[in-house]
């Protein structure tokens, strides 16, 4: 009987992720028959079937679920072991995988890449834009090294590092520029444009307006902040956007921008990474570089306390 190898686990993880032998083989850069052989060998080693095979999709058996859970833990530890060659006191090199939420990526990510490339010329940066839930999952599965998100995420296995705070601003049609600023309670009676389900910025906007039960006639959804601002320009409603997005998103829209007084809605942007990540010291350095980059831009961001949790 063949011995269990990391290759078995990587190919099985690919099959579990894609749910299809052909797609998993393509993602793994091998032929489908070769992938099938690896899965059959793993099933022989584990002593039972790991997947239910169907024409268009595969499903994991109970044994397969257990193997996937432990296999991912092993692959994560191997990934961490490889990073130990990068000394925390030396310059970063190799590759680093960054996840950034959609309401930050267009405005901050280019500056992050530029700053890190200048500071660490031997570092290959692999960015990915995705929503918070997916980002957290991929960090825990070691598919991403760290993420830029709105804090807190309150995940016990992740460390958090605050970068800066920023206000949300109200976007209204241009003709409403001279109207009194609505309160959060008044916003509940207006047609509010929000991002789709799954975006943390949507939840933050609803929380500020104290909206729990959404009335469909008062809510419209968009897939991006750009879409929301353009819809406001068309007179469909109003929306909230983070201050870093104002310059880019409003320059081609017929809208007005207003700032909330007294206690404006805000969010804290920060980094998250696995507590077991051996690059923690270098990630703290990266956090300091990103904080400085944000402060040097023209957004109205406010430095947060350079504290970490975990």
Are residues 48 and 113 both part of a single domain? no
Higher pLDDT, 156 or 185: 156
Q: Phi and psi for 189 in degrees, rounded to 5?
A: -95, -5
H/E stretch holding 139:
helix 132-140
CATH code of 102's domain: 3.40.190.10
Are residues 220 and 294 both part of a single domain? no
pLDDT at 217 over 50: no
The last residue of one of the domains, among 40, 64, 83, is 83
pLDDT tens-digit readout, 226-253: 999 999 999 998 998 999 999 899 988 8
Flag whether 199 is in a domain: yes
Q: How far is it, in rounded angstroms, from Cα 230 to Cα 233? A: 5
What is the token pair recorded at 9? 């686990």
Are residues 74 and 129 both part of a single domain? no
* Residue 305 banded pLDDT, cuts 50, 70, 90: low
Average confidence (pLDDT) over 18-29: 90
Q: Are 131 and 199 in contact (CB under 8 A)?
A: yes
Are residues 132 and 159 both part of a single domain? yes
Are residues 13 and 45 both part of a single domain? yes
Number of domains in the chain: 3
Average pLDDT of the chain is: 85
Q: How far is it, in rounded angstroms, from Cα 51 to Cα 79? A: 25
CATH code of 55's domain: 1.10.10.10
Q: How far is it, in rounded angstroms, from Cα 306 to Cα 286? A: 12
pLDDT tens-digit readout, 118-169: 988 888 899 999 999 999 999 988 889 999 999 999 899 999 999 999 998 9
Are residues 259 and 279 both part of a single domain? no
Average confidence (pLDDT) over 158-187: 90
Number of H helices and E strands in the chain, helices first, is 11, 13
Domain that residue 257 falls in: 167-266
Q: How far is it, in rounded angstroms, from Cα 194 to Cα 220? A: 6
Q: Mind giving me the DSSP string for 184-206?
A: HHHHTTS-EEEEPTT-HHHHHHH
Are residues 297 and 225 both part of a single domain? no
Q: Is 35 helix (H, G, I), strand (E, B) or coil?
A: helix
Flag whether 239 is in a domain: yes
The last residue of one of the domains, among 51, 83, 115, is 83
pLDDT tens-digit readout, 29-88: 999 999 999 999 999 999 889 998 876 788 899 899 999 988 988 888 777 666 655 545
* Residue 281 banded pLDDT, cuts 50, 70, 90: confident
Flag whether 89 is in a domain: no
Average confidence (pLDDT) over 21-29: 91
Are residues 259 and 283 both part of a single domain? no
Flag whether 1 is in a domain: no
């Amino acid at each position: 009987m063949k011995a269990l190898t990391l290759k078995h686990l990587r190919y099985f993880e690919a099959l579990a992720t894609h749910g299809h032998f052909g797609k998993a083989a393509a993602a793994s850069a091998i032929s489908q028959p070769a992938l099938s052989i690896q899965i059959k060998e793993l099933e022989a080693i584990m002593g039972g079937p790991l997947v239910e095979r169907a024409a268009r999709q595969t499903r994991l058996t109970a044994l397969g679920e257990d193997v996937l859970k432990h296999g991912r833990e092993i692959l994560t530890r191997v990934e961490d072991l490889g990073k130990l060659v990068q000394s925390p006191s030396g310059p970063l090199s190799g590759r680093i995988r960054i996840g950034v939420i959609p309401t930050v990526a267009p405005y901050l990510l280019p500056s992050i890449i530029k700053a890190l490339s200048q500071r660490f010329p031997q570092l290959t940066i692999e960015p990915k834009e995705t929503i918070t839930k997916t980002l957290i999952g991929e960090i825990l599965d070691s598919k991403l090294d760290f993420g830029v998100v709105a804090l807190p995420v309150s995940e016990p296995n992740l460390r958090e590092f605050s970068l800066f705070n920023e206000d949300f601003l109200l976007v209204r049609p241009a003709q409403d520029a001279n109207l009194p600023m609505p309160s959060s309670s008044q916003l509940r009676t207006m047609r509010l444009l929000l991002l789709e389900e799954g975006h943390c910025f949507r939840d933050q906007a609803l929380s500020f307006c104290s909206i729990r039960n959404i009335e469909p006639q008062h809510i419209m959804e968009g897939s991006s902040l750009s879409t929301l601002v353009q819809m406001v320009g068309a007179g469909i409603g109003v929306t909230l956007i983070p201050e870093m997005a104002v310059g880019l998103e409003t320059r081609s829209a017929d809208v007005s921008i207003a700032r909330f007084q007294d206690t404006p809605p805000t969010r804290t942007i920060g980094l998250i990474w696995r507590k077991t990540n051996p690059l923690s010291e270098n990630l703290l350095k990266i956090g300091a570089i990103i904080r400085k980059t944000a402060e040097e831009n023209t957004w109205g961001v406010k430095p947060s306390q350079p504290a970490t949790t975990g």
